[in-house]
Structure 1
Amino acid sequence: MKTLTIKLTAPLQSYGNEANFERRTSWPVPSKSAVIGMIGAALGMRRDNPEITKLNDLAFAVRTDQRGKVLTDFHTVEWKTDTRKLTYRDYYQDAVYVVAIGGDDEEIDRIADALKHPKFQLYLGRRSCPPAGILKTNVFEDANPVEALKQLPWQASSWYQKKLRKENYKTEIVADANLIDNPNVTWTEKDRVESFNPRYRHFGFRVLAKTRVELENPSYHASMEHDAFGAV
């Protein structure tokens, strides 16, 4: 299996889960459906394109490299004439995630090229959350998404790495359950794309699992190298 990793970073990210009109919460990590939507946009697929559901077949995993803080945005919405409602929407600030998608060589190459030359604007969950510049990607020729994320170096910001002051950073990989051997816990989420059509937006269930991983902190090792003449 060929795997493409994609670094997702921006001032704000939000990955909506099931919520009512007044309270819009966010998943703590990017959802597979949100990433499929982003890939579909890059490929030039419109929301009602039936081909987009084929992207559900991509193997998927996500790693949290920089834990963001929750920001709640307050809105007053006029949803009917002279009728207003208060709404609250959650975002993650300064978070860094790495998602990994796996599939056959041709499909992964096509997606990698599209993400560098997207047909439509890309955003990280909501339209108000564009990525912070060109997406940083890496290709692993013979690894599934979980294996690729275990190999990929830590992608957090340098200031975040220095703040940790530990040799290793411990985090989780959340993935399609079949990618993790003998998981202790599995659960289902309504995160399988069935339709992005605004008139019939619908999602099915998929099974997830998670595993732990330790990543080397390059800033920790750099701080151990003392240069007595560095200040001269």
Structure 2
Amino acid sequence: MKTLTIRLTAPLQSYGNEATFERRTTGDYPSKSAVIGMIAAAFGLSREDPQVTQLNDLSFAVRIDQRGSILNDFQTVEWKKGKPRKLSYRNYLQDAVFMVAIGSDDKTIDKIEFALKHPRYQLFLGRRANVPAGILKMQSFANEDPVSVLQKLDWQASEWYMKKNRREAQIRVELIADASLLPEVVDNRCEMVKDQVISFSQDNRQHGFRKVAIKQLKLLNPLFQADTEHDPISIL
């Protein structure tokens, strides 16, 4: 198996879960369906193209390197002329950084990496307005699965965030992966998430459930600064 890591960061990101027109919340991390949608856009696939659902076969894991904070956006929408405006709330993740890892055979991963570097359609992180903060930073690893790669990969948070946590030598982060990639995780750390792509069709968008496992990791902080011993009374 070959693995490709993708660093996802932007001023705003939003990864849909169960939502209504009036309130659209966001998940805490990129869903597999959102990443599949981004890859499909890079390939230039239509929403109804059968190749989209084939991307469900990719092995998938994500590491939350910088959790970010929630932004609540209030909107009024004039949905029909002469009708009362509708009220709507949208949630976004601010200043978050995620490390996504996808795994497959060498040929498939190479094609995906090339497509993400030369996308046919605009790439976005969950919603159309949420474009990546610059060129995607990617790295490929031969003969390794997504979990093994993310477990050893250096912490990829923003520099300002590392400095903010400079008193911590190790940072605890969360790894969420296909349950099959974390067989050692006990059942009470597994859950079902609804991000298996069935259809991206705007008329009949559907998602199925897949089982994921969750694991806590400790990563070294490269900007760690130990507290210096200082006794202010000693100068008196």
> What TM-score range do you get, normalising by the shorter chain?
over 0.9
Which structure 2 residues correspond to residues 26-37 of structure 1 after superposition, within 5 A? 26-37=26-37
Aligned to 2:231: none
Structure 2 gaps, min length 5: 229-236
SS of aligned partner of 2:85: strand
Aligned to 2:114: 113
Aligned to 1:178: 180
Aligned to 1:51: 51
Amino acid at match of 2:79: W
1:80, distance to aligned residue in structure 2 (A): 3.0
Instruction: Give distance in 2, aligned partners of 1:16 and 1:78.
Output: 23
1:147 and 2:148 matched: yes
Instruction: Give distance in 2, aligned partners of 1:78 and 1:50.
Output: 35
Instruction: Give distance in 2, aligned partners of 1:58 and 1:101.
Output: 6
Identity %: 57
SS of aligned partner of 1:39: helix
Instruction: Give distance in 1, aligned partners of 2:19 and 2:10.
Output: 23
Amino acid at match of 2:185: P
TM-score when normalising by structure 1: 0.93
Larger radius of gyration: 2
1:72, distance to aligned residue in structure 2 (A): 0.5
Aligned to 2:223: 219
1:12, distance to aligned residue in structure 2 (A): 0.3
SS of aligned partner of 1:118: coil
1:187, distance to aligned residue in structure 2 (A): 1.2
Aligned to 1:203: 207
Superposed CA RMSD in Å reads 1.2
1:216, distance to aligned residue in structure 2 (A): 0.9
SS of aligned partner of 1:218: coil
Instruction: Give distance in 1, aligned partners of 2:111 and 2:169.
Output: 37
Aligned residues: 223
Structure 1 gaps, min length 5: 227-232
Aligned to 2:39: 39
Aligned to 1:96: 97
TM-score when normalising by structure 2: 0.92
Instruction: Give distance in 2, aligned partners of 1:79 and 1:16.
Output: 21
Instruction: Give distance in 2, aligned partners of 1:79 and 1:31.
Output: 29
Instruction: Give distance in 2, aligned partners of 1:60 and 1:83.
Output: 44
Aligned to 2:73: 73
Instruction: Give distance in 2, aligned partners of 1:186 and 1:151.
Output: 22
1:181, distance to aligned residue in structure 2 (A): 2.0
Instruction: Give distance in 2, aligned partners of 1:16 and 1:112.
Output: 24
Offset from partner CA, 1:194-227 (integer Å, 9 cap, x none): 111111111111111111111111111xx46x9x
1:83, distance to aligned residue in structure 2 (A): 3.3
1:20 and 2:24 matched: no
1:19, distance to aligned residue in structure 2 (A): 1.0
